[in-house]
């Protein structure tokens, strides 16, 4: 939470700088105000506590009363929260609070769509490292709120041997061998494969997770048959809402989708002053 508070502080500093010129010119500092955060379209709410922290950092006396919690499914026109405090503080905090609430709700909403499309299969929707720099913790939180799961958080908490790693050391087998020599015995090793020959090689190394990268549905089905529960199977690459169900039905365990963080659309949420 300390990292998130620091991030918000930096975001506010970026937006406000030495002061909000418009508010200073228009609003007497002792004027009280009330406002509402309103969903302008259907969405999965994520980030209400983050928005509250924005208002609190601008003015600790601002009160944010949430009517819903993260994970709630909201319809258009829903009043997410009521805000009261100094009017100048509400207006100064508005943009940063909305930016974060809109962004996180967008990720949660898109993630939920992927999760819904795979309902009834054993596949879990997972995120990737394709996140906004500095926002990874919050964006991965929003994925969880949407019903998805987190892949590794960064380079430091998982071994994932990809095509460039394999090219750098000469072979998939050599890459797994080196990783096995250095990795703690408690850490799983994942390898990326692009064809069935690599799948067979990955199986022979004893890799605990095998990623099927940009494979067609029929090739993926054959890969699942070859692996035959000897490793967890992750599908990745070229997956969208139109084909995610087909991918899930091949029998893979995990489906990683970079789009749920790098391409999620910010949801339409507004703040409306109610006592002006």
Length of the chain: 276
Tokens of 44: 């999965």
Active site includes 213? Answer: yes
Which residues have C-beta within 8 Å of that of residue 195, sequence separation ≥ 6?
215, 219
In this predicted structure, what is the pLDDT of residue 117? 98
Predicted confidence (pLDDT) at residue 230 exceeds the cutoff of 70: yes
- Give the three-class secondary structure for 101: helix
Domain extent at residue 194:
115-262
Q: What is the pLDDT of residues 51-90, one digit of tens each?
A: 999 999 999 999 999 999 999 999 999 999 999 999 999 9
Verify that 101 and 160 share a domain, yes or no: no
Nearest to 166 by CA among 96, 126, 123, 213: 213
Q: Is the pLDDT of residue 14 over 60?
A: yes
60 and 134 share one domain: no
Give pLDDT tens digits for 16-33: 999 999 999 999 999 999
Tell me: do 70 and 182 sit in the same domain.
no
- pLDDT at res. 275: 82
The residue from 152, 162, 221, 230 that is catalytic is: 162
Give yes or no: residues 126 and 13 share one domain: no
CATH assignment at residue 9? 3.90.1170.20
- Assess whether 130 carries a catalytic annotation: yes
Mean pLDDT of the chain: 97
Confirm if 92 and 273 have CB atoms less than 8 A apart: no
> How many domains is the chain partitioned into structurally?
2
**Contact between 172 and 205 (Cβ < 8 Å):** yes
Kindly state the tokens that stand for 173: 């087998």
> Is the same domain home to 123 and 258?
yes
Mark whether 122 and 255 lie in a shared domain. yes
Choice among 53, 139, 192, 234 that is catalytic = 192
Q: From the candidates 95, 136, 149, 180, give the one annotated as an active-site residue.
A: 95
d(CA 128, CA 187): 18
In the residue annotation, 188 being an active-site residue is answered as no
How far apart are alpha carbons 12 and 10 in whole angstroms? 5
Region at 130 (left for phi over 0; alpha for psi -120 to 50; beta for the rest)? beta
Q: Which residues is 32 bridged to in the sheet?
A: 86
The structure's pTM equals 0.96
Query: Sign of the C-alpha dihedral, residues 113, 193, 174, 231?
Result: positive
Per the listing, tokens 């490292």 go with: 129
Check whether residue 164 and residue 255 sit in a common domain.
yes
Q: Which of 213, 222, 249, 268 is catalytic?
A: 213
Whichever domain contains 122, its CATH number is 3.20.20.70
Q: What is the pLDDT of residue 276?
A: 57
Model confidence at 2, pLDDT cuts 50, 70, 90, reads confident
Model confidence band, residue 181 (pLDDT cutoffs 50, 70, 90): very high
The pLDDT of 79-108, averaged and rounded, is 98
| Residue 199 sits in the same domain as residue 214 | yes
Looking at the structure, do residues 65 and 128 belong to the same domain, yes or no? no
Do residues 134 and 104 both lie within one domain? Answer: no
pLDDT of residue 15: 98
Q: What is the pLDDT of residue 159?
A: 97
């Amino acid at each position: 939470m300390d990292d998130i508070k620091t991030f918000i502080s930096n975001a506010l500093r970026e937006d406000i700088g030495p002061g909000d010129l418009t508010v200073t010119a228009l609003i007497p500092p002792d004027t009280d105000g009330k406002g509402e955060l309103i969903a302008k379209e259907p969405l999965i709410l994520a980030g209400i506590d983050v928005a509250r922290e924005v208002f609190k950092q601008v003015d600790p006396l601002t009160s944010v009363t949430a009517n819903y919690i993260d994970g709630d499914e909201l319809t258009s026109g829903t009043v997410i929260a009521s805000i009261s405090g100094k009017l100048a503080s509400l207006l100064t905090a508005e943009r940063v609070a909305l930016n974060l609430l809109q962004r996180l709700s967008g990720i949660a909403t898109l993630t939920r769509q992927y999760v819904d499309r795979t309902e009834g299969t054993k596949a879990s929707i997972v995120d990737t490292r394709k996140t906004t720099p500095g926002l990874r913790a919050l964006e991965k939180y929003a994925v969880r709120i949407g019903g998805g799961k987190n892949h590794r958080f960064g380079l430091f908490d998982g071994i994932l041997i990809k095509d460039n790693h394999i090219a750098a050391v000469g072979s998939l087998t050599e890459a797994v061998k080196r990783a096995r020599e250095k990795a703690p015995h408690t850490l799983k090793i994942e390898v990326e494969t692009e064809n069935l020959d690599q799948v067979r090689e990955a199986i022979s190394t004893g890799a605990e997770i095998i990623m099927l990268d940009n494979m067609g549905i029929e090739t993926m089905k054959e890969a699942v048959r070859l692996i035959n529960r000897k490793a967890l199977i992750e599908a990745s690459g070229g997956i969208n809402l139109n084909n995610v169900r087909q991918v899930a039905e091949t029998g893979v365990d995990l489906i990683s989708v970079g789009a749920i963080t790098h391409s999620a659309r910010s949801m339409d949420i507004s703040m409306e002053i109610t006592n002006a």
